[in-house]
Chain A
Amino acid sequence: MQTLTAENIAISFGRREILSGVSLRVEKGKITGLLGRNGCGKSTLLKIIFGTQPAPDKIIQLDGKTISHPYTIKGAINYAPQFSFFPKGLTIARALKDFGVSPEKVFHDFPALDADMHKTFAELSDGIVRLWTILTLVYAQSHFTLLDEPFTHIMPLHVEQLKEVLQREKQNKGIVVTDHMHKHVTEIADSLYIIKDRKSLIVRTKDDLAFHSYIPFC
């Protein structure tokens, strides 16, 4: 699989229209950044693309083939929501095995995480759980990975290492990253979108972000 496209995405919650006519294109070998104000629908868009959020209007395609629930296709897509989803009693070693991730691969990039291998998610701090969640999905074999706020709660040293991992792993997959730490997102993204007024807009320069009132003019 080379491309994941989302077109004509529209969703409302009650009378509140969240997204209308949103489009996004994700390519293997690239990181796609997604920015937008709080509550603009970034997480909802990722869930719709993943297939767990029903939407009245949506066209999700993998290599041009329309798929209603991409997450049910083995090896197609995985998604890290903002919260931890691993069962608390699960050990890190078991989680890695479940997702077919080699521990050596993780320790090569994050040697300090070796000590966590036989701990359960309940025994780890929120930041480390977040890091393990992101790493597990990024290293897992899937054609596309959607990351909702991957840098939040993670300490600066690990953020820098994580960015390097994302840059390297994009060779094997297409990655979507959304985070309010926009400097990290703009630094690693090969293409960038912003959601504003329920639409997705392509961002080409930093000035575009200021123009769309996402960051202040400098």
Chain B
Amino acid sequence: MSTLYLRFYSSFAPATFLVTIACAWLYYYWGGTTLPALFFFKLITDYIFWHLLRQLNEKKMYYYYNRNLSKTSLWLFAFGFDLLLFISLLVIIAPRPIPI
């Protein structure tokens, strides 16, 4: 079942991952003060991507519906997983104080 969720996520992951990389880059160079803005930007772009995909890819959703996965569960997984990747990347690249 989780394979199906990941397959669904992978259908638009390249686009959302590009935004994640861009945000991570900005965070690395501009520091922690940009965090709220980047987080907000990430949420907005995710919403736009998924809204567009729902419009353009509705037919393909029947593959998942026929596997008993609801629209809500698919989008919740995709959103949660994408956000988890985003936060994980920010934690990994977070600027650390130089030890004296």
Is A78 engaged at the interface, CB distance under 8 Å to the other chain? yes
Are A137 and B66 in contact (CB-based, < 8 A)? yes
Among B11, B59, B63, B68, the residue within 8 A (CB) of A72 is B68
Q: Which residue of A lies closest to B60 (CB)?
A: A85
Are B11 and A73 in contact (CB-based, < 8 A)? no
Which residues of chain A come closer than 8 Å to B69, judged between CB atoms? Answer: 72
Number of A-B residue pairs, CB cutoff 8 Å, is 39
In the assembly, what is the distance between CA of A31 and CA of B27, in Å?
A: 60
Interface string of A2-20 (1 = CB under 8 A from B): 0000000000000000000
Are A85 and B63 in contact (CB-based, < 8 A)? yes
Which residues of chain B come closer than 8 Å to A83, judged between CB atoms? Answer: 59
Which residues of chain B come closer than 8 Å to A98, judged between CB atoms? Answer: 4, 67
Are A86 and B65 in contact (CB-based, < 8 A)? no
Q: Which of A42-71 contact B (CB under 8 A)?
A: 50, 52, 69, 71
Q: Which residue of B lies closest to A95 (CB)?
A: B63
Is A103 engaged at the interface, CB distance under 8 Å to the other chain? no
Are A74 and B68 in contact (CB-based, < 8 A)? yes
Given A87-B7, A87-B11, A71–B59 Cβ distance below 8 Å? Answer: no
Are B62 and A81 in contact (CB-based, < 8 A)? yes
User: What band does the interface of chain A fall in when counting residues whose beta carbon is under 8 Å from B?
Assistant: 10 to 19
Interface string of B49-67 (1 = CB under 8 A from A): 0000000000111110111
User: What band does the interface of chain B fall in when counting residues whose beta carbon is under 8 Å from A?
Assistant: 10 to 19
Are B61 and A85 in contact (CB-based, < 8 A)? yes
Among B63, B68, B70, the residue within 8 A (CB) of A87 is B63
Which residues of chain A come closer than 8 Å to B66, judged between CB atoms? Answer: 71, 78-79, 85, 99, 137
How far, in Å, is A134 (CB) from chain B's closest CB?
12
Which residues of chain B come closer than 8 Å to A137, judged between CB atoms? Answer: 66
Given A81-B59, A87-B11, A87-B60, A73–B68 Cβ distance below 8 Å? Answer: yes
Are A85 and B70 in contact (CB-based, < 8 A)? no
Which residues of chain B come closer than 8 Å to A85, judged between CB atoms? Answer: 59-63, 66
Q: Which of A75-116 contact B (CB under 8 A)?
A: 78-79, 81, 83-87, 98-99
Which residues of chain B come closer than 8 Å to A72, judged between CB atoms? Answer: 68-70
Which residues of chain B come closer than 8 Å to A99, judged between CB atoms? Answer: 66-67
In the assembly, what is the distance between CA of A56 and CA of B89, in Å?
A: 44
Given pairs A69-B70, A79-B62, A87-B11, 9 additional interface contacts (CB within 8 A)? A50-B65, A52-B62, A71-B68, A73-B68, A74-B68, A83-B59, A85-B63, A86-B63, A137-B66
Interface residues in chain B, defined as those with a beta carbon under 8 Å from any beta carbon in chain A: 4, 7, 11, 59-63, 65-71
